[in-house]
Structure 1
């Protein structure tokens, strides 16, 4: 495998992992009766609509059909991708729920 192929493979893997992170976030929101797009916009108000998030929403399932997405799992995944602003908003939502 040459350098270009390796670079392309790394990029493809990162993009696939990023899509999985977005899906985990979206399903966590659904499981906690939150609107994923609304939560995302709180974290990134200047970005507007997120195409990848809309794609992920098509893959989510109803709360009663989904497996649990633990809070710490979501926060860990967001951290891996440097989504600190989104992690902050998620943490606020977790705090509201625990009150």
Structure 2
């Protein structure tokens, strides 16, 4: 295999993995009654529409059909891609979700 072919395979693998990370984020949002586009927009207000996120949204399933995605899992996959700004927004939302579960009013 040539260096060019290897490079192409590595890039393609990265893109597939990145798409999986976006899908995990989108499904986690759906599972928790959150709007992934809104959260993404808060993290990256200057980016506009994200085509990869739109593609991932088309692959999500209703909460009732989805498996559970622990908060730690979504934060883990975001950190694998150094998605610090989105991790920050997700962490804020996790705090709100935990306060709601505990019956404490949210300070949104």
Structure-2-length-normalised TM-score: 0.91
2:77 is the counterpart of 1:92: no
Partner residue, 1:10: 10
State the aligned residue count: 99
Q: CA RMSD in A?
A: 0.4
User: Whole-Å Cα distance in 1 between the matches of residues 95 and 24 of structure 2?
Assistant: 19
Question: Cα distance, 1:21 vs. partner?
Answer: 0.3
* Structure 2, unaligned runs of 5 or more: 100-108
Q: Which has the larger radius of gyration?
A: 2
1:33 paired residue number: 33
After TM superposition, where is structure 1 displaced by more than 4 Å over at least 4 residues in a row?
none
2:45 counterpart residue number:
45
**RCO higher in structure (CA 8 A, sep ≥6):** 1
1:59 Cα deviation from its structure 2 partner: 0.2
TM (norm. structure 1) is 0.99
Q: CA deviation at 1:30?
A: 0.1
